[in-house]
Amino acid sequence: MAKNKSKVNSYIRLLKYVKPYGKLLILSVICMILVSASNLYVPWIIKDVIDKVLEEKDMTMLYVIIASIILVMFIRGSTTFAHRYLMGYIGQSVIRDLRNKLYNHLQNLPIAYFDKRRTGEIMSNLTNDISALQNAMTTDFIMLVQEGAIFIGSFAAMIYLQWKLTVLCLIIVPVVSVTIKFFGKKLHSSGRSVQEKLADVTSMLQETISGVRIIRSFNRTSYETERFGQVNQSNFKATVKAIRQQSQLTPVVEFLAALAIAVIIWYGGVSVIDGLMTAGELIAFLIYAINLANPIKRIAESFGNIQKSLAAADRVFAILDVPEEDFDHSAEKELTVTEGRVEAKHVKFEYDEGHPVLTDLNFVANPGETIAIVGPSGAGKSTIANLLPRFYEITGGEIDIDGVDIRKATLGSLRDQIGLVPQDTLLFNTSIRENVLYGRLDATDEEVWAAIRSANAEKFIKALPHGIETRVGDRGLVLSGGQRQRIAIARAILKNPKILILDEATSALDTESEKIVQDALDKLMVGRTSFVIAHRLSTIKNADQILVLNDGVIAEKGTHDELMAKGGLYYDLYTMSSQMNEEESEDSSPEEEEK
């Protein structure tokens, strides 16, 4: 019962998106009913042709019938066009609205949601799942209304012509209802399986296409082909299963309908022989009975299709039910940073319950200071970069900016004050200008070029064939790593944040590129409170304060010289880093910086 209620709720929830187009829907339904009425008129014409024209030789009736056929077919053609166009328009509008709503919702979900979901699966929700809803909103809805009207009209006409025979035919209805219900449950389950398997295909496509260089470098083309074949085969099996169940439903309903028609022919034939019915009435009754059987079959098909579509609806609504980040909570206030003092007080954090990453984090970053954060792999360095802009909420303690608990500031105002330059630079597949403007959309051309110059990017940009209008390709792959990083720095400069986070911003670069990018970063950090998560410790020797993380706490802190003098964990990390840098310098050639 809970599952059935859930299905009904999902369909009702889906239909709510039709509400803005209610007037068009009513007009379309009227047109559908007129189309159905034209179908109901045909058996009556046949009855009059047999009983009045052929038997009574009524020529006037013949001309009336001919004229009525032309009029009815004209009305049928006009209303068929109208309702199909209107329902197509409504359906596409609803799909557009739902896709916009889902995309907008995804943009406002916590970062943690995306960390736990595959990108391809989310893409499948936006494409495959919503497309699957289109038939439920248009084709299947039209079928339900139109065939439902034919069913009701045919049933009324049958009662008028011969009520006893109609009652006899109704015995088959409960059997058909049970059959539809039985297959409906199976189709809903198989429909969900089809959408999940399709999401697996989309997800793998996204992963393998974006990772094509890794696949080729490890010579794993055959392996990935085989793996995709397995995923595709699973999707094939799930789809074929749904097709089999759908195909089983239709012939079962048709067989039951055939039994009803056989009863009509037997009882009706006897009635005509006994003089209780005319031949025209029997033919008309038989056509209405067929009209009654066909809607049952088509309604059953539509019902099965809707069950499969509702599986997609469940997946879409499951995302829409995930709580969004609250950007402007009434209990929070706009954060205005004047100094840029950041203080962490006994901060605790865990991604998964029972597995703490930070246990007691304490530090003070004074305005304009550069704070370097180092430590062994897994110590929680990048976690701090996630906590400052509240990509994740701390589980204990407090982080203050200029004396304000960041949990009491609106997310929008907090993130407006923080600039982030990550290790894995993401550029959008647009022009260099638009990527830089992402830092501040209302910036002037002069401000954009000033940011580009500060990021040491002017020379290589002007050397490109299309200059600043050059499209950077998917994820910026048209540019080198150092070039991408300088565009990201220009974007951060244009934003002009009070607080800056550099999350291993030069770790993926060669030595020569690193020097150019580091110079741009030094310019960016002037006058800002900066947090530098360092991979190469040689880049943080001039930091005002170095925090050494280990086991969820700050094990050491001080300047480079102070920490080296201690000979502790930082000394070990720095010595190891220096050795690795020397080996890299000997073994690798400089990256070609100007493409």
Percent of the chain with pLDDT over 90: 10
What is the number of other CB atoms lying within 10 angstroms of the CB of residue 416? 18
Q: 157: closest CA among 27, 5, 39?
A: 39
Task: Using the Cα atoms of residue 119, residue 122, residue 126 and residue 130 in order, give the sign of their dihedral.
Answer: positive
What b/e readout covers 259-291, taking b as 16+ CB neighbours within 10 angstroms? Answer: ebbebbeebbeebeeeeebbebbbbbbbbbbbb
Domain-wise residue ranges, the chain:
2-320, 342-587
pTM: 0.69
Alpha-carbon gap, residue 425 to 520, rounded angstroms: 15
Percent of the chain with pLDDT over 70: 82
Which of 291, 296, 288, 287 shows the shortest CA–CA distance to 256?
296
CB contact at 8 A, 178 and 299: no
Predicted pLDDT at 344: 93
Asked whether residue 121 carries a pLDDT value surpassing 70, the answer given is yes
Looking at residue 365, its pLDDT comes to 92
pLDDT band (50, 70, 90) for residue 257: low
Spell out the long-range contacts of 59-63 with Cβ–Cβ below 8 A and sequence spacing 24 or more: none
Assign domain 342-587 one CATH number from 3.40.50.300, 2.40.50.140, 3.60.15.10, 1.25.40.10: 3.40.50.300
How many CB atoms are located within 10 Å of the residue 226 CB?
10
pLDDT at residue 337 in the model = 86
Contact 375, 550 (CB under 8 A): yes
**What token pair was written down for 152?**
């009701």
Lowest mean pLDDT among 115-119, 547-551, 564-568, 584-588: 584-588
What pairs with residue 350 in β-bridges? 356
Q: Is the pLDDT of residue 6 over 80?
A: no
Supply the pLDDT for residue 468.
92
Spell out the CATH class of 2-320: mainly alpha
Of all helices (H) and strands (E), which one includes residue 558?
A: strand 553-558
Instruction: Provide the pLDDT confidence category of residue 331 given band limits of 50, 70 and 90.
Output: low
Quickly state the pLDDT bin for 5 (edges 50, 70, 90): low
- Residue 2 is predicted with a pLDDT of 47
Do residues 553 and 360 touch, judged by C-beta distance below 8 A? yes
In 3D space, the residue among 98, 81, 80, 84 whose CA is nearest the CA of residue 19 turns out to be: 98
Across 267-387, where does the E strand assignment appear? 342-352, 355-365, 370-374
Whole-angstrom distance, CA of residue 521 vs CA of residue 573: 23
Q: Rg of the chain over CA atoms, in angstroms?
A: 35
Helices (H) and strands (E) in the chain, counts: 21, 10
Ranked by mean pLDDT, the top range of 157-161, 185-189, 511-515 is 157-161
Q: What distance in Å separates the CA atoms of residue 158 and residue 154, rounded to the nearest whole number?
A: 6
2-320 and 342-587 share one fold: no
Angle (CA) 95-101-104 rounded to 5° is 140
Beta strand 370-374 with 396-401: parallel, antiparallel or unpaired? unpaired
For the chain, the first-to-last Cα distance in angstroms comes to 64
pLDDT number for residue 571: 87
C-alpha dihedral (143, 146, 148, 149), degrees to nearest 10: 180
Please name the residue ranges forming H helices in 16-58: 22-48
The single-letter code of the amino acid at 126 is: L
What would the pLDDT profile of 501-542 be if each residue is shown by its tens digit? 888 766 656 666 667 777 777 777 888 898 988 777 777 888
| Residue at token pair 């600039």 | 419
- 333-349 pLDDT, tens digit per residue, is 888 888 889 999 999 99
C-alpha angle 96-102-105 in degrees, rounded to nearest 5: 140
Dihedrals phi, psi of 547, to nearest 5 degrees: -105, 125
Confidence class for position 592, pLDDT limits 50, 70, 90: very low
The answer to whether residue 454 scores a pLDDT higher than 80 is: yes
